[in-house]
Structure 1
Amino acid sequence: MNYFLAVDIGASSGRHLLGHLDNGKLKVEEIHRFNNQIYQVGVQLCWDLDYLFSEIITGLRKCVEQGKQPSALGVDTWGVDFVLLDGEDSMIGHAVSYRDKRTKGVMKEICSQIGSEALYAKTGIQFMDFNTICQLMTLSEEVKSQAKSFLMIPDYLNYLLTGKKVNEYTNATTTQLYNIEANGWDEELIDFVGLKKEVFHEVLPPLSKVGNLRQELVDELGFDCEVILPPTHDTGASFIASSLNIEDSGVILSSGTWSLLGKELLEPIVNEQSRLKNFTNEGGLDKRYRFLKNIMGLWIVQEVSRNLDYRYSFSELVNLAKEAKNFTSVIDVNDQRFFVNENMIEEIVNYCRESGQKPPSTVGEVSLCVYRSLAICYKKYVDEIAEVTGQEIRTINIIGGGCKNEFLNELIEEETNCSVIVGPVEATGIGNIVSQMIAMEEVADIYSAKKIIELSEV
């Protein structure tokens, strides 16, 4: 029996999911789970990649302890963030998070120099201050001159596992440096940010085999396995697990710290209408495109919980929201004031007051305000997707951890007037696993994978 290990690392937590086929059905079990968070390092908000890699190894050890050594593993994380390595393959500086304030206003500067039309025509990517192109623009000339390798976060973790340096396609497209027409790194944009093209590596598609574990890891763990590229951008992996096929009249909502709302297309939509509405065209498996919007998502609720010193569970916040059912004030969840701040509750109260609405005065009212605002935002973008694509939207498949929130699902159904399909919860890990299975020829293709997922209780 072949086991396939998905190392799925999100912005707030990571997990190791082990999958195998049993009489044509996918069986998935959680082997290891760990927290992830942003740390203040000096004046910057950073990720602790040494810690994350140590947790990857801990999960591999747990596989050994259970006698379920994987034949292959794949790593996925969030997009846009990266590291630079010097000539000794040491990391230059820290792995700075996309939530760091260093990029505020940078996208506007870039567009003033390149032109938003030209940048969108090249990349098809949504304009956001935290995109990789903006992060690179903030680096000093000294750092840029030292740089010999550019690796996205999962690329770097794969390098630590195998010693091989490659850039994976789906994550590369989130950088706003990947030319959607030429299907490769855009040398003009790389030159614009002040790096040499040699710093960037070959872009490999999902299902590519990176290599085996480094010998010292094999000696430490007592087994070897192949490292395979799933869509290393977690949204790309999660869309694989959706019950919707590319021809279906529905959209997919990957609900978690971020909400990613959109649909898969065989061709990108890069025109004036999609640019003005700020839609993105991210790369996916089989060179599909995820035409979608990035929405602030459950990050706001997570921050509300943190402001309350985690005294309430998420289910308790939902129950309190239900009790506050007559509260009607809403916020623009994509307002930059909610991106990162010290007190999310205070920002919500101030937004309502400043917009002439009744400010929330209880925990339940704050929670309901966020949930209803998310549903209203989804409604707006569902309508825009229908308008830009010319396709009627009748169904929303909500996947990811946020799909467990039945109350939010009901609000989405009410606002959008679409039928809601829920699950799978671990869509990203499942998409990661079946990608490895396709690469190892245990599953024929993405259509076969979707059928297996549909028939399996995952």
Structure 2
Amino acid sequence: MTSTPPIAGAARSYAAVDLGATSGRVVVGRVGRGELTLTEVNRFANVPVRLPSGLHWNLPGLFTGILDGLREAARTAPAVTSVGVDTWAVDYGLLDADGALLGIPYHYRDARTATVAPQVRDKAGAQELYTVNGLQHLPFNTVFQLAAARDTAQLAAAEKLLLIPDLLTHWLTGSVGAEVTNASTTGLLDARTGEWSRDLAARIGLDPALLPPLRHPGESAGELLPHIVAATGLAAGTPVVTVASHDTASAVAAVPLTAPGGAYISCGTWSLAGLELPGPVLTEASRAANFTNERGVDGTFRYLRNIMGMWLLEECRRVWAARGEPSELASLLADAARAEPFAAVIDPDAPEFLAPADMPAAIAETCVRTGQRAPASRGALVRCVLESLALAHRRVLRRAAALAGRDITRIHLVGGGSRNDLLCRFTADATGLPVIAGPTEATALGNILVQARADGLVGDLAEMRQLVADTQELRHFEPSGDLRAWDAADARVVTAP
């Protein structure tokens, strides 16, 4: 491993606001010569609220958690140089002419797009949509959410549309813009030009004037507003830096891809598995395989597929805990390791797993429907989930390599799922490739590193990744066992269309 290139100047501190689908946090990152450390200063739950209009994000509550975290960052860090915000993708808020939020943003798991998405695809043409935006068809993509909102009073009154990280940045700074890595998940960004497709927006009945100016990672989004300074204790004039505001884009920026041949899996609520490429893959074969082309740092493309990830396991644990049944993760994983291999396998992306009230029951019913035995214990069910995720990782990465004309020699598994040794081992065994697990905190690291680069403290993307490789704990899993057993299990999976 080569040494980290010299870093100019003394170590400095940066605050990362990092919101995931189930929790949010504020993290202080310290960056210097051979130094890259994170300290979590506030973590808070992200619990959606079901209102008469549907499922929504509690964005005011999240913003309160952000301010609490920034206040703690100001109290504990020597000096916070800047702030950056990343969140999940696709969801948005609407602003009126005064810049006020119209309503509470919808949650992407709300059912309002279920019937709209096919209508938009039929009207615009699935091939034509893909030629423009290069996106995997997911019913909750922003373009479909906006089609569902057509003719509503909120959309009629709206002057600007801001994705969630851009909305939070607006509340911090008063500025209006759309960061490009997140904009590329909307279905309204032209995959070839990197600009808004105003023609496509007009075709779905959206006023193109709603789309804000685009920003790129590393650009300034403005300074903290005076009342934010007063509420947090951060210094007046503290800049908010536009980071790779889609959390997966931030995570991929911190994947230690220091040599050719690496694929990545960013594993949390979702598993996002794919390759980093210099340009999009917009072929008909790519569209048919339902792969997405999302923008990354420095003009790169994240060529990947979304896979329903640890959501399945966490929902099982939530249901068991609510029933008063054992749900402690370490015990469940120990039971899963002893359970019968390949007793049942499922497709994690089957629509019945998107938002069931009872995930264990949904999995059991799917097993029976596909001619398999329902898992007889919690350990067996957890093993079913993890083996099924490993097989999904294998299918997606093999297909990505074939469609992009690339060879994969190793897999980098980052995010919360990298702490799950059983999942890492199953992924190595299923693919026949070594898995490098970590960093767990890839999203926050990517956020911090883009801020540090904007501050002139680190260099290009390669230098950022080398610093990650040199300073973060990485664990290695070599493939073992009989690959033919995984082949046979994969042949039994009934995949969603």
Q: Displacement, 1:107?
A: 2.1
Aligned to 1:429: 444
User: Which stretch shows the higher mean deviation, 301-310 or 279-288?
Assistant: 301-310
Aligned to 1:32: 42
**Within the alignment, does 1:106 sit opposite 2:141 as a pair?**
no
Aligned to 1:203: 214
User: Which stretch shows the higher mean deviation, 122-131 or 377-386?
Assistant: 377-386
Q: Select which of 332, 341, 344 maps to 2:347.
A: 332
Between the aligned partners of 1:13 and 1:69, the Cα distance in structure 2 is 26
**Within the alignment, does 1:229 sit opposite 2:239 as a pair?**
no
Aligned to 1:243: 256
Between the aligned partners of 2:337 and 2:467, the Cα distance in structure 1 is 36
Q: Displacement, 1:457?
A: 3.3
Aligned to 1:412: 427
Between the aligned partners of 2:342 and 2:401, the Cα distance in structure 1 is 30
Are the equivalent residues in 1 in contact too, given 2:317–2:327 (CA < 8 A)? yes
Q: Displacement, 1:190?
A: 1.2
User: Which stretch shows the higher mean deviation, 182-191 or 69-78?
Assistant: 182-191
Are the equivalent residues in 2 in contact too, given 1:144–1:194 (CA < 8 A)? no
**Within the alignment, does 1:441 sit opposite 2:452 as a pair?**
no
Q: Displacement, 1:2?
A: 2.4
Q: 4+ residue stretches of structure 1 with deviation over 6 A?
A: none
User: Which stretch shows the higher mean deviation, 124-133 or 35-44?
Assistant: 35-44
Between the aligned partners of 1:257 and 1:300, the Cα distance in structure 2 is 8
**Within the alignment, does 1:300 sit opposite 2:312 as a pair?**
yes
**Within the alignment, does 1:277 sit opposite 2:289 as a pair?**
yes
Q: Select which of 147, 162, 167 maps to 1:151.
A: 162
Between the aligned partners of 1:177 and 1:307, the Cα distance in structure 2 is 37
User: 1:331-368 CA deviation, whole Å, 9 max, x = no partner?
Assistant: 11100000001111111111010111111121111111
What secondary structure is seen at the aligned counterpart in 1 of 2:128?
helix
Q: Displacement, 1:43?
A: 4.3
Are the equivalent residues in 2 in contact too, given 1:150–1:199 (CA < 8 A)? yes
Aligned to 1:89: 99
Are the equivalent residues in 1 in contact too, given 2:177–2:213 (CA < 8 A)? yes
What secondary structure is seen at the aligned counterpart in 2 of 1:441?
coil
Give 1:304's aligned amino acid: C
**TM-score with structure 1 setting the length:** 0.97
**TM-score with structure 2 setting the length:** 0.90
Between the aligned partners of 2:76 and 2:355, the Cα distance in structure 1 is 40
Q: Select which of 362, 373, 380 maps to 1:347.
A: 362
Aligned to 2:21: 11
Between the aligned partners of 2:44 and 2:138, the Cα distance in structure 1 is 29
Are the equivalent residues in 1 in contact too, given 2:20–2:87 (CA < 8 A)? yes
Q: Select which of 215, 219, 223 maps to 2:230.
A: 219
Give 1:60's aligned amino acid: L
Q: Select which of 21, 34, 41 maps to 2:31.
A: 21
Give 2:393's aligned amino acid: Y
Give 2:181's aligned amino acid: T
| Equivalences, count | 457
1:251-400 superposed matches below 5 A: 251-309=263-321, 311-326=326-341, 328-400=343-415
Are the equivalent residues in 1 in contact too, given 2:270–2:309 (CA < 8 A)? yes
Change (3 A) 1:34 1:69: farther
Are the equivalent residues in 1 in contact too, given 2:178–2:215 (CA < 8 A)? yes
What secondary structure is seen at the aligned counterpart in 1 of 2:243?
coil
Q: Displacement, 1:24?
A: 2.8
Are the equivalent residues in 2 in contact too, given 1:3–1:19 (CA < 8 A)? yes
Runs of 5+ unmatched residues, structure 2: 1-10, 474-497
Give 2:346's aligned amino acid: I
Between the aligned partners of 2:32 and 2:244, the Cα distance in structure 1 is 24
User: Which stretch shows the higher mean deviation, 281-290 or 30-39?
Assistant: 30-39
1:182-197 superposed matches below 5 A: 182-197=193-208
User: 1:9-28 CA deviation, whole Å, 9 max, x = no partner?
Assistant: 10011122211224332122
Aligned to 2:493: none
Change (3 A) 1:119 1:303: same
Give 1:216's aligned amino acid: H
Between the aligned partners of 1:444 and 1:250, the Cα distance in structure 2 is 21
Q: Displacement, 1:258?
A: 0.3
Between the aligned partners of 1:457 and 1:182, the Cα distance in structure 2 is 35
User: 1:64-112 CA deviation, whole Å, 9 max, x = no partner?
Assistant: 2224331101000000000111122222222101000111132221111
Are the equivalent residues in 1 in contact too, given 2:150–2:205 (CA < 8 A)? no
Q: Displacement, 1:170?
A: 0.5
Change (3 A) 1:235 1:160: same
Between the aligned partners of 1:41 and 1:453, the Cα distance in structure 2 is 42
Q: Displacement, 1:326?
A: 4.0
Between the aligned partners of 2:179 and 2:102, the Cα distance in structure 1 is 21
Are the equivalent residues in 1 in contact too, given 2:32–2:457 (CA < 8 A)? no
Q: Displacement, 1:284?
A: 0.6
Are the equivalent residues in 2 in contact too, given 1:25–1:453 (CA < 8 A)? no
Runs of 5+ unmatched residues, structure 1: none
What secondary structure is seen at the aligned counterpart in 2 of 1:329?
coil
Aligned to 1:122: 132
Are the equivalent residues in 2 in contact too, given 1:85–1:92 (CA < 8 A)? yes
Are the equivalent residues in 2 in contact too, given 1:327–1:365 (CA < 8 A)? no
